Amino acid sequence: MKLSFFILSLFFLTIGLSACIDEPEFSDVPAVTNIEEIYFVDGDRFDSLVIKVAFEDGDGDLGLDAREEDFIRPFSVVRDSDGNPVIFDPVTSEIPFNCCDFETPTELTPIVVGTDSIFDTVRVVQNPFVRNFEVTIFNRQSDGTYQAVDFCDPDICRTPLGGRFPPLKDDFSDDKPRVGTITHFAQSVVLKPLFRNDSIKIGVVIRDRAGNESNMFVTEDAFVLNDITRTPE
C-alpha cells in the first residue's frame, strides 16, 4: 500500500505586523481572530487556495525557520521492545492502517532509520511542529451538518493543507505582543477534483514555537470553490 500525497511541499507565506503593543494585552497562546480573505485560483498546472488570517499573540513567539533541527523531521519511527522499527502487519497490528500512524516508502525514497533504509510500511509518530499553520476542510453531510475531512483515512490518504510561516522577528528575546495577518498560499493538484461541487467550510489553527495551539477559527459561511474562484493574474 502506497501513501499518496496531493499537496505540494511548496508554500508561499506573507507576514504583516500591524502593530507592536507596549504592554501585554493578550495570552501567550496565539489566537486566530478572523479569516479576512479566502479565494481559489484555478491554475494551468496547480490550483491554489489562498487564506488570509488575522492573529494576536501575547509574546510574539511565532514562526519557524526551515533550518531548525527540531522542526525538520516530519515523523519519528516507533520501535519495539528490542529497538527494531515496528513494521505494519495487517494481522498483528495493534491499530488498523491509516495514513498518519503509518508511513509507506517508495522504491526511490526508503525510510531511513539510523544507517538502515527500510522499504516496508512502518509505525510512526508525527512531529506536530513540522507545520505551524494548519487548515481543516469541513464538507457538508446529507443531514446538513459539516464534518471535518479526515485525510488520514486510507480511502483519502492525502497530505492535509498547511505549512510553516517564517519567524515574525529576528530576536525572540523581544517578547512584546504582536497582532497582524498571515497569508497562506496552498498549491494543490486535486483540491478541485476532491471538492469541486461540495459545500465546504475552512478552519485554521496556528501554533507558536512553544507548541501552544490557537483556537480553530472556522468560516461562518459555507461555499463551493466556484464561488470563490479568481482568474490567475
Q: What is the dihedral of CA 209, 205, 148, 43, to 10 degrees?
A: -100
CATH 2.60.40 in the chain is located at 7-68+129-230
Global pTM reads: 0.82
- The pLDDT score that the predictor gives to residue 192 is 83
With residue 139 as reference, give the H or E element that holds it.
strand 133-140
Can you tell me the distance from the alpha carbon of 225 to that of 233, in angstroms, rounded to the nearest whole number? 18
pLDDT at 175: 77
The residue among 224 and 109 whose pLDDT is bigger is 224
Secondary structure letter of residue 7 according to DSSP? E
Sign of the alpha-carbon torsion through 5, 141, 133, 192: positive
Q: Which of 7-16, 49-58, 189-198 has the highest mean pLDDT?
A: 49-58
Residue 146's pLDDT is 97
When the pLDDT of each residue in the chain is averaged and rounded to a whole number, the result is 83
Q: Which amino acid is at 40?
A: F
Interval 33-43: pLDDT, tens: 999 999 998 87
Query: Residue 120: what pLDDT?
Result: 93
Domain 7-68+129-230: CATH class, spelled out = mainly beta
**SS3 (DSSP) at 147:** strand
The top-scoring range by mean pLDDT among 6-20, 149-163, 170-184, 211-225 is 211-225
Which residues, 6 or more positions from 203, have their beta carbon under 8 angstroms from its beta carbon?
135, 136, 137, 138, 148, 216, 217, 218, 219
pLDDT at 14 over 70: no
Of 149, 145, 133, 220, nearest to 191 (Cα)?
149
